Structure formats: structure tokens, C-alpha cells
Amino acid sequence: MELPDGAYVNLGWGIPNLIADYLPKNVEVYFHSENGILGMGRRARPGEEDYDLVDAMKVPVTLIPGASFFHQADAHLMTRGGHLDVAVLGGFQVSEKGDLANWKIPGAKGSGGIGGAMDIAAGAKKLIVCMEHTTKEGAAKIVRQCTYPLTGLACVDTIVTDLAVIDVKPEGLMLREIAPGWSIEELQKLTGAPLTSPGRAPEIKFI
Amino acid sequence: MQQKIHPTLESAVADIRDGARIMFGGFGGAGFPNNLIQALSKKGTKDITAISNNCGTRDGELGLMFKNGQVRHVIASFPGPHSNYFQEQLAAGKVTLELVPQGILCERMRAAAAGLCGFYTTVGVGTEVAIGKEERIIEGKRCILEMPIHADFALIKAETADELGNLTYRLAARNFNPIMAMAATTTIVEVENIVPVGTIPPEHVVTPAIFVHRIVQARGIRYAG
């Protein structure tokens, strides 16, 4: 469990945004939305949508008691200034040093967009990247050095994939948990940087 | 009392000349000055430098400005997956783009508002954003120099204005609007309601009237995309 009780948490686009729906009942966290909300609640049900009350992905949401609104500069003062306990971002590539690339795929059509990712990467006390372990084509997304445009240097603390939980340490990537049925050798073949493990990594604990 | 209330959207934007630098409020569909954008589109101002988080949702929000070819340069954080007209114009070389991290976009505007000549930040160090920027070490951390963003006009949306120009915002429709109101030389706000001076409790004012120059009531388009 990566989200401690009482934590202030920002969830990025994509997979991270789904996490809010899977929180255990005994854990209370305060979700920050970069468009200026603290204490964001569940998604709005049909009929209760208010399009002035949306998350950063434009999805109508609700508030929990004690919520607050603030302008954009304060929203990112919170991300950048080290006020958030945990931030969860999506990723295209993470390097063994914890560099993150998550905003543009080289050669892709269109402008790309940075959004709040660089501010969040620079300032969160703890940054978790939540992504699939490989690309759709099977290429490693955990690599020695990022080849995609960077979001931030040495900013990632933990990588959570469909196959493993990996901590980024000064000495390299430490395998903390592994998906049931997978061996470390099999996981290493899909990982572009060396994984070290304190013996046999325990299986991922699902909540 | 200085008269800030304009009778029409058209009169509120009448003097926005070609080549103007304009900030546009709004984020995630909320708080966009959609009615002022319509008026500016009708007026046909060209060669605009647009400063905004997003670049529209097809025909909605800023999309119209790109559809009409009114924008020459964009300073934005997240143009958006549905900013079709902007993307077409960018691909055709008719628009140029400076991408800025979202919080840094805010702080650069706030620096302009606050009379600051720039600031150093760790955000963007080692990325494409840092190219061409002065770098130095502060408190042991690599930092880059970011410069203020000024504008001739800010087009913003608020829920309520009093006749002096004190503003309140609704829910998360606040977003960029208070920052832009402070940063631009001339701030034009479209509001749902205009109320007599003294109606808004002073402790509830979010944007003080000093930052607001023109007020127009507009209840036409609330959400455009």
C-alpha cells in the first residue's frame, strides 16, 4: 500500500487516475487536482454532474467535506513546493536513475503537451510512476537511459507496473514485489536495466 | 465611480488590435471566457499571441480562433488531444508554439503581475524546456531561469462582479482566471451576474477590483467543448 492514511495525493492522467476508485475503506487520503481542488471526491454520478466541478481530465467529480478551491498558481505551488505527500504519474520510460519521460513520444503526430507533469515531478515528496511493464510491442519501458523527451531528472521513487513494484535507489533498481507466477529471470528479460533483489522478492500484495 | 461595465461583448473587445498578446482563462472546460472569444472571433483580430493552458476543443473554447486563423503564436502548457484546428495550423507552419510546464506558466504570469523580472526553478531542468535558458546551482540544486510573461489583454470568466470589478468565481472555474487578471495590462471579464458595490462580502472577494478594467455580463455560452 503506497498511500498512507491522511496523505495529500495527486493522481495524474491515465492509469493513476483510476486509483481513487480502488482505495480501501479504512484509508482516508486527500486528493489534489491540479486545476485547483483539494479534497476531491468520487466521480459524479449521472444527474449530479456540474461542469464547473471537474478534475484535470475534464471529468465531473464531487467534493468531500473539508474541500477547498484555489487558483492555478496555488495548485502548482502545492505540487512544486513539496507540499504533496505522494504523486502518481503515468510513464512512457523510467531510467535506472529515476529519470522520467511521460509527455511526448518521438515522431508522434501533434504538439504533445506537458501539463502539470514537470511541476509534479520536480516537487512531490514521493513520486510513484504507474505504468505497464513494457510497450504494446513488448519493448522495455524501464531502461538504463530514457530515449524519449524527459519530464524530470532523478525524480521517480517507485515504479509500479502490472508485473512488479520496483524502488529506485542510489545503488540501482530494487525489486520489492513481483506478480504471482513470474520469476525474477523472466521479469529481468522484460526490463532494460538490471534489477537487484534481496533474495526472493515477495508477490505483489493486492488490496 | 469609474464606469467599467460594458453594454455588449463587442464593445468590450472593440480596441483589441492585430498583433495583441492576449491571455485566455479556463481549464478542463470550466472558466473559459467563451462569449468574449466569440466576440473576438467576430471582430476578426489577427496575428494574436495567445497565452492559455489549452488550445481548444474542436470548435469550442479557443478552437474558433485557430479555425479562423487569428492566432500566430501560442504559449501553452497542454494544447489538448482535441485541439484539432490548432494542431492543423501548427503542422502547416501557420502557428508557432512555446510549451511551458503548467505551474511555471502560472508563475511566469505572476512574475509579470508582481513586477518581478524572472525566477529560478528546478522544474524542467535537463528537459527540452531548459534549452537556451540560463542554468545555475542554488542551494545545491540545478535551476533554470524563467522570464515573466506579459500581456496586453486578459480575457477571463468569473461568476459575479460588483460594479467596481471585485470578482468571485464558481467552484473549479477559478483556475487561471485570477492569475491572468493580475498579469495583463487590461483585464476584460465576462460574468454571469453584476451586483451593486457592497454586495460581495469583502472577505469573499477573490480578485480585487484593481485588477479588473472591463466587465460584461454574458450568459450565452457556458461550456463550449
pTM above 0.90, yes or no: yes
With contacts defined as CB-CB under 8 Å, which chain B residues touch A13? none
Q: Where are the beta strands (DSSP E) in B41-198?
A: 48-51, 71-76, 96-99, 119-121, 135-138, 141-146, 151-162, 167-168, 184-195
Backbone angles phi, psi at A84, to 5 degrees: -85, 140
Mean pLDDT of chain B: 96
pLDDT band at A20 (very low <50, low <70, confident <90, very high): low
Q: Which fold has domain A8-196?
A: Glutaconate Coenzyme A-transferase (3.40.1080)
With contacts defined as CB-CB under 8 Å, which chain B residues touch A38? none
Q: Is the pLDDT of residue B31 over 90?
A: yes
Strands B167-168 and B119-121: unpaired
Which candidate from A55, A58, A71 shows the least CB-CB separation from B179?
Answer: A71
Whether ipTM exceeds 0.90: yes
The answer to whether residues B108 and B85 touch, using CB atoms and an 8 Å cutoff, is no
Question: Where do the structural domains in chain B lie, given as residue ranges?
Answer: 9-215
Q: Is the pLDDT of residue A67 over 70?
A: yes
Q: Is the pLDDT of residue A1 over 80?
A: no
With contacts defined as CB-CB under 8 Å, which chain B residues touch A72? 27, 53, 102-103, 106, 175-176, 179
Smallest CA–CA distance from B143 into chain A, residue:
A122
Which of B78, B110, B121 is the best mutation test for A, with the most CBs of A within 10 A?
B78
Q: Give CA–CA dist B62/B72, Å, rounded.
A: 13
Q: Do B86 and A111 touch (CB under 8 A)?
A: yes
Q: Is the pLDDT of residue A198 over 90?
A: no
Q: What is the pLDDT of residues B122-157, one digit of tens each?
A: 999 999 999 999 999 999 999 999 999 999 999 999
pLDDT band at A18 (very low <50, low <70, confident <90, very high): low
Q: Is A2 assigned a catalytic role? A: no
> What mean pLDDT do residues A47-66 have?
93
Q: What is the DSSP letter of A204?
A: P
How many angstroms away from the CA of B24 is the closest CA of chain A? Answer: 13
Chain A: residues touching B (Cβ < 8 Å): 33-37, 50-58, 69-73, 75-77, 79-80, 99, 109-119, 122-123, 149-153
What nine digits make up the cell of B39?
466576440
> What mean pLDDT do residues A46-69 have?
94
Question: Which pLDDT belongs to residue A16?
Answer: 62
Q: What is the pLDDT of residues B169-204, one digit of tens each?
A: 999 999 999 999 999 999 999 999 999 999 999 999
Q: What is the pLDDT of residues A127-154, one digit of tens each?
A: 999 999 999 999 999 999 999 999 999 9
Question: Where do the structural domains in chain A lie, given as residue ranges?
Answer: 8-196
Q: Is the pLDDT of residue A86 over 90?
A: yes
CATH class assigned to B9-215: alpha beta
